[in-house]
Structure 1
Amino acid sequence: MEYNVGDIVRTKKQHPCGSKLWELTRVGVDFKMKCLGCGHVVVLERPKALKAITKKER
């Protein structure tokens, strides 16, 4: 599946704040994702990010 900056994705495990929705702010070798529940920013390597993402919301 192709991902672009600004996409909203759902992850398998929820963030400690309780949200499973993240906004992609950087896509490439690494994925930079912002939690939509609390605003926390996480940078994951592409393989780990692709494994964590279950589906694209929009």
Structure 2
Amino acid sequence: MPVQGPAAPAGNPADLNSDGFVNAADLAMLLGNWGNAGVGDINGDSVVNAADVTILLGAWQ
């Protein structure tokens, strides 16, 4: 069974699926919406791109 660290802080924008962790599931959601607005647009610039990946990876747990 994989071990995970503490849950992400409540309201963490990088926790895209709101499961309390920033992990591969969130990265998959972000990449699935690459180049579009909406899910994965963590920085709110209306496009899912490398800037959002950088934020997500910085919050990775």
Q: TM-score, normalised by structure 1?
A: 0.31
Q: Which is bigger in relative contact order (C-alpha 8 A, separation at least 6)?
A: 1
Larger helix fraction of residues? 2
More strand by share: 1
> Which of structures 1 and 2 has the bigger CA Rg?
2
